[in-house]
Structure 1
């Protein structure tokens, strides 16, 4: 505890930018006539609440939005350092950057977070849990992150049990670039170029990252490196009054050194194995807006290929997987009265997977939903329902509602209740361990909170109390005879707690912010020997304290991450100790178009693990430049 207090003091003393660095509401926004909630919340646009572009104040759900300015302020390729500045977020990583990285929201499984990249669902149908690996998503091409915390399958369908994260790639008018070098011979380069006008807009971006890394096995000594290059772009064309064509495409290719279980000990240790991963996602569609009607229709696809190779066995992969999903959807909003709006949508998704040991398997799911919204100015209420039909397990119905009430002086109350479901993955249904009688995982979540302002400003505050009950959770059950295991619906779980976040401008140049969550999890599975235990890898306490000082063109800052102990397994017999990580950062805006920056990560060289047996990064120093024209 004394070390935590020491680091906390360092974080406050070694402050940096925030008051001057905070993003501002959009230029030209009419802050006096935005309708619901506070003017600031009414000027911030989100899509995760209802599936269409809405002011943040038109939803009673818990949503955090992180913009490009904050991403650049934190620095670096590692997206987890940015996500941890939002409450309710904890991270699990199997080694260094590039390794599997799971993001848990309010104690949910990492696979229960739905992730959208430029509107495309980017989960991997070939992975056992069907989740998204954040190890392959780096920060350089990202413009905005929207994070909804809570179940919301009414709008988003399968997988939205823990929450929904919408990631939007950069949109640039001009040319921008950055170059960074640092610890473990790491280099990260990014460039984006774009143009916009009355006819439309287009942006292209690209990035390259390479690091020698460190041993993924905590007991290992051989560095496990990671290399990735990424290209992408997004654009729009104004076809006619109110009619716009939109498109986006993203591709990432990575190579990751991995450790394994070599003979004769067959324990986790250094190996020469590596993994190649190729991810592609894209969408094309139309947007139409005329008077009270907004419509969006799109087709999207996502594909992930993974090859594991061991030089000891030649150049051919020892194991390969390929997951693919295609999706056609239409979403809309009809403001059919002064205070009433109908949001609606329909979608069809086709998914398939294959692996070295599994023949191609397919499934499809169709969903329709509607949501009625009432906005009286001070009070906003939304309620809706959804019906999904899956080609393998049948239908699922979900409900949800939220409300927000504006108090005086920028304060508002908000509350939400939502149901979520997650369809069994193709691997869980059809692999050697598959079970075609599986039912979808289900959840019901509720929260209530109070909000002042929004995190885009120096002064803001939000506090929430939440609970989520989950049932039919799918787990692997061992058997005494071949195939020695099968997936079954066996689990019940509860996660509940509180979240607090806020920011305060101490002076015009000094500010501080805090994101804290207390999450109490419990395995409630009937008849299980683990009943009453904490869920694995869910720390009860997690907090990030940031402090910033901006004297003119110079910036100094710090981020302190505090995480309490947790358990690595369901039996609660393998303990992961708590840890504290302090990062220091600095920047100098030399000219309007040129900036120098640098940081020190893990200043105290803390030794810690987020997954038992896997190493974590020690102290590292990084420097870089940004330029624009």
Structure 2
């Protein structure tokens, strides 16, 4: 279903940023190394439009053709098909969904939509929950692996997921997708946009509902999920070289929740809003480009249990306000500088009321933080095919102090079809508002720190009909923040007392953990005849606790299978029909830090088909988990069994 293919034969030199590839074979492109013939593929996860053969880090690019072909509902399912990615979910659609890149923590990944960083400052780890992120109007998804904090700041230790929505290329264009299937699942999305004089615009919306499965594996009631959202984008050409850009995204979700002990009537509501306003100024015939922007994200989460006297059991909200300037200057055709400054202000509130109306609702826990960063990166191409870059960044957190980072890399695309690359990067993650200000907070926390390197090679043979590649990576994370339990009700540890009240507490956060990860990502693609593609990838990821003196020293980090693999085959029959099959394997892992609870390995098999009624309308169908594999990614929580879906898609 998913394709990891050689870039050379797929895209012509005229392909544009965030547009579909002209070849129907251009599904997903996983790039373990740069491609000497891939100047047409442009990526933006590097914070500037960059030919993929100038990116020294491993990156997977999923274009619109790939997204349509995969037929996946959620972004997390798409990402799971790329190398180095693992996932855990507390049940079916809409339940807590954690994504990990190269064994890093789920909150050590930056998620970006059209340049706006997404995270939830009210959550414990401050990361992004993929539960409510459906494919929607996404036209392109890029997964940049490895520490990327030089350009993306806090949290970019595991990598960056960059989601791009489309700008119309015609006076009027649109799309629609409608499907239905197992467990009374119904999904629909539509978008419309166009160009009118200096104005380019696009609006879209989606709705999804399913009766779901019991989130708890031993449960009997179904836990349903609904999600609705809308997006809008307008770009206005004010004068030559000056454009204004406005974007907005909203999504709301409702999911039924099972408690750890059994079926309950609980449900959760989540509302997410993302806003962006930017001014783009190009000077000196486009050699000097400037972007001034304001981004805003807001997340509200509420849990309810109608069986209790006071139904609301949890209420939290978090927001980020981000001001930034980014510039790029091309000194020559072979020397370019990228630089910028950012200021991010975050706040949160959180409260868990008593279930009894006789107990007053406590004052919410509140907190604020400010993070300011400045960065610069220089890219040089001294000879044809060779690109070298180096960067530096300094961030200052008003609570956790300052941090300076460095990165460097190079990629060399040879005329023989061989591509070599290597990079070194550093990352950091500032302590979250919850870790600083909650009842378990510690105001003396320092940022988590990481450094890592990777080296890779790709070889294309037989005019691109065969492509193979491999990457080795290594990363060390120090000062990782963990929760330390206190000997309740009394402990000699002074941090086991709640600041300001003197009351004992169950625990607190502190910087003590150390984690190491290393591994190999390998992939291959074969095109033996026209219309037939066979491809796959394999990841060996060793992620371990290396905290000196800890009882868990040497243990596997939880929910990180060491072995994962994807394989797919796809064939275009020549009369409008395309069929394919995909297989995913995930090896065993452990559910907890002590490695006492094992999660078994599993194999998932999917089938898909699509038939073109015309150039703009297609019917499609798929079977997921065809063999009805019974498996878990979180202990005691269920996963979807065999599922059948069918629908219709239109593009005009």
Q: CA deviation at 1:461?
A: 3.2
Q: CA deviation at 1:505?
A: 0.9
Q: SS in structure 2 opposite 1:447?
A: strand
Q: CA deviation at 1:145?
A: 0.6
Contact map agreement 1:25 1:40 (CA 8 A) in 2 = no
Deviations 1:570-625 (A, max 9, x none): 11100000000001000100111211100111010000000111100000110100
Contact map agreement 1:40 1:453 (CA 8 A) in 2 = no
Deviations 1:361-400 (A, max 9, x none): 1000000011111112221111111110001011011110
Residue of structure 2 aligned with 1:416, choices 416, 420, 423: 423
Contact map agreement 2:4 2:523 (CA 8 A) in 1 = no
Mean CA deviation greater in 481-490 or 294-303? 481-490
Tell me: CA distance 1:19–1:389, structure 2 relative to 1, closer, same or farther (3 Å): closer
- Cα distance between partner residues in 1 of 2:193 and 2:637: 41
2:307 matches 1:336: no
Instruction: Summarize the alignment of residues 300-449 of structure 1 with structure 2, pairs less than 5 Å apart.
Output: 300-313=295-308, 316-357=311-352, 358-376=364-382, 377-449=384-456
Residue of structure 2 aligned with 1:450, choices 457, 466, 472: 457
Contact map agreement 2:3 2:535 (CA 8 A) in 1 = no
Q: Match for residue 175 of structure 1?
A: 174
Mean CA deviation greater in 276-285 or 190-199? 190-199
Q: CA deviation at 1:37?
A: 5.7
Tell me: CA distance 1:464–1:198, structure 2 relative to 1, closer, same or farther (3 Å): farther
- Cα distance between partner residues in 1 of 2:469 and 2:637: 35
Q: Match for residue 558 of structure 1?
A: 581
Q: Match for residue 43 of structure 2?
A: 46
Q: Match for residue 570 of structure 1?
A: 593
Contact map agreement 2:72 2:78 (CA 8 A) in 1 = no
Mean CA deviation greater in 438-447 or 376-385? 376-385
Tell me: CA distance 1:314–1:504, structure 2 relative to 1, closer, same or farther (3 Å): farther
Deviations 1:497-529 (A, max 9, x none): 000123211210211111210001221101100
Q: CA deviation at 1:137?
A: 0.4
Q: Match for residue 235 of structure 2?
A: 236
Instruction: Summarize the alignment of residues 5-404 of structure 1 with structure 2, pairs less than 5 Å apart.
Output: 24-25=11-12, 27=14, 38-49=35-46, 51-172=47-168, 173=170, 174-196=173-195, 199-261=198-260, 267=261, 269-290=262-283, 291=285, 292-313=287-308, 316-357=311-352, 358-376=364-382, 377-404=384-411
Q: Match for residue 625 of structure 1?
A: 648
Contact map agreement 2:191 2:203 (CA 8 A) in 1 = yes
Tell me: CA distance 1:16–1:246, structure 2 relative to 1, closer, same or farther (3 Å): closer
Tell me: CA distance 1:313–1:28, structure 2 relative to 1, closer, same or farther (3 Å): closer
Tell me: CA distance 1:270–1:332, structure 2 relative to 1, closer, same or farther (3 Å): same
Q: SS in structure 1 opposite 2:270?
A: strand
RMSD across aligned C-alpha pairs, in angstroms?
Answer: 2.2
- Cα distance between partner residues in 1 of 2:72 and 2:565: 20
Q: CA deviation at 1:337?
A: 3.0
In structure 2, the gaps of 5 or more residues are 22-32, 353-363, 489-503
TM-score of the two chains, using structure 2 as the length reference: 0.89
Q: CA deviation at 1:19?
A: 11
Q: Match for residue 542 of structure 1?
A: 564
Q: Match for residue 583 of structure 1?
A: 606
In structure 1, the gaps of 5 or more residues are 1-10, 262-266
- Cα distance between partner residues in 1 of 2:597 and 2:279: 51
2:489 matches 1:488: no
- Cα distance between partner residues in 1 of 2:67 and 2:526: 19
Q: SS in structure 2 opposite 1:92?
A: strand
Contact map agreement 2:231 2:250 (CA 8 A) in 1 = yes
Contact map agreement 2:11 2:41 (CA 8 A) in 1 = no
- Cα distance between partner residues in 1 of 2:276 and 2:427: 25
Tell me: CA distance 1:527–1:29, structure 2 relative to 1, closer, same or farther (3 Å): closer
Contact map agreement 2:421 2:457 (CA 8 A) in 1 = yes
**Higher RCO structure, 1 or 2 (CA under 8 Å, sep 6+):** 1
Contact map agreement 1:52 1:332 (CA 8 A) in 2 = no
Q: CA deviation at 1:27?
A: 3.6
